[in-house]
Amino acid sequence: MAPFPRWATKTGLTLGSIAVTMLGLLFVTFMIGRVMPVDPVLAIVGDRASQEIYQQVYQDLGLDRPLLVQFGLYLRDVMQGDFGTSILTARPVAEDIARVFPATLELATLGTLIGVVLGVPLGVIAAVRRGSWIDQVARVVALVGYSMPIFWLGLMGLLVFYGILGWVGGPGRVSIFYDGMVPSVTGMILLDSMIARNWTVLRDAFSHIVLPASLLGYYSLAYISRMTRSFMLEQLSAEYVTTARVKGMSERQVIWGHAFRNIRVQLITVIALSYAGLLEGSVLTEIIFSWPGIGSYITTALLSADMNAVLGGTVVVGLVFVLLNVLSDLLYKVFDPRAK
């Protein structure tokens, strides 16, 4: 029997690792949902329901069965894309997630773009000008980004740029009188308004997203610039950089053509982790700015004991995190020939 091609073996191992990771995530989230001091039956029937109704719903939910059986049923439903029905919205959780996730995706994507466009050049310049005032400014910017609570920055941003100066829109994705004017195609208001060629809604939506995206971008910038500086310092002290300078290469070629080229693989991982962090960690930002994303959806569901929504949202965020890690591994092999 002929051996399997190498690419098929690697693909199988990758898919297997994803399956095992997701199985572990499903098991952990399921068990957390069961051990939390929240009664899903009371959340459905209310505290004034009779004991007979309580027992009937308890059995309908399968809570009278062993935990492993409950997990098996839950796993079967999830594999079919069924996360149950939300108590708050009375709609399937999968539909709710499909409705709210594009808002988080849009916000996190714009924040990551801001962090990359500003953070990477800042980190490179700080490393090249090590010890200079530019380096000191970059380090202070990163330190403040790590130290300042994002909810405080969000409140101060709303107070100054919205309340006092009026430069940006307020909470929400769009002003109330523009709500529903653009057909939802992608779920991302900026893209949908461009598809509909409604430039008035586009300007209004941009005025609402620019402040929360800038705050997330600043958080991402602090992390990316710090890591870029660290990676570049390591490369600039290597022997091949000294050799390139001795051969008469320009400083631009040495920095961007050699040193920066060798840190691209590491930066891909850093950017992917930063992006995943914004997707799953923008809860406070979404709450402060009344952004109808998955973070605020999970938080509201948790406060209302809507465990189907909490578990469904957690699984989706975990799946996105896993897929971003797989994507970073694939890009790693593209940019680093040694990994092929």
- CATH number (domain holding residue 154): 1.10.3720.10
Q: Tell me: do 172 and 269 sit in the same domain.
A: yes
Helix, coil or strand: residue 92:
strand
Lowest mean pLDDT among 65-79, 203-217, 221-235: 65-79
- pLDDT of 336 reads 63
pTM: 0.83
Residues 187 and 147 in one domain: yes
Q: Which amino acid is at 290?
A: S
* Residue ending a domain, choose from 25, 48, 79: 79
> Does 330 share its domain with 241?
yes
Q: How many domains does the chain have?
A: 2
pLDDT band at 5 (very low <50, low <70, confident <90, very high): low
Which amino acid would we find at residue 224? I
Structural domain includes residue 290: yes
What per-residue confidence (pLDDT) applies to 111? Answer: 92
Do the domain assignments include residue 85?
Answer: no
Tell me, what's the pLDDT at 296?
Answer: 86
Tell whether 6 is covered by a domain. no
Instruction: Please indicate, yes or no, if residue 161 is contained in any of the structural domains.
Output: yes
In this structure, the answer to whether residues 107 and 226 fall within a common structural domain is yes
Same domain? For 115 and 217 the reply is yes
Q: Per the domain annotation, does 264 fall within a domain? A: yes
As a residue count, the chain comes to: 340
User: What are 79's two structure tokens?
Assistant: 């594999």
Q: Of 52, 79, 106, which one is at a domain's C-terminal end?
A: 79
> Is there a contact between 306 and 43 (Cβ–Cβ < 8 Å)?
yes
Task: Give the DSSP letter of residue 130.
Answer: T
Per residue in 267-301, pLDDT (tens digit) is 888 888 888 888 876 778 888 888 888 888 888 88
Clarify whether residues 63 and 207 are in a common domain: no
Q: Is the domain of 127 the same as that of 264?
A: yes
Whether the CB-CB separation of 326 and 272 falls below 8 Å is answered with no
Spatial CB neighbours of 140, under 8 Å, sequence gap ≥ 6: none
**Beta-carbon contacts of residue 335 (< 8 Å; ≥ 6 apart):** 264, 265, 268
Q: How far apart are CA 27 and CA 96, in angstroms?
A: 22
Identify whether 211 is part of a domain: yes
- Find the helix or strand (DSSP H, E) in which 176 lies: none
Kindly state whether residues 50 and 199 are assigned to the same domain.
no
Contact, 153 vs 254, CB < 8 A? no
Residue 37 has pLDDT above 80, yes or no: no
- Could you list the residue range(s) of the whole structural domain that residue 155 is in? 97-339
Residue 139 predicted with pLDDT over 60: yes
> Where are any strands of DSSP class E within the chain?
none
- The reported pLDDT for the residue numbered 1 is 46
Mean pLDDT of 153-161: 88
Residues 239 and 131 placed together within one structural domain of the fold = yes
For residue 265, the model assigns a pLDDT of 82
Identify the weakest region by mean pLDDT among 15-19, 181-185, 186-190: 15-19
Does 65 lie in the same domain as 167? Answer: no
Please check whether residue 179 is in contact with residue 290, taking contact to mean a CB–CB distance below 8 angstroms: no
Are both 330 and 213 inside the same structural domain? yes
How far from the centroid of its chain's Cα atoms is residue 170's Cα? 23
Task: Determine the Cα–Cα distance for residues 54 and 47; give it in Å rounded to an integer.
Answer: 9
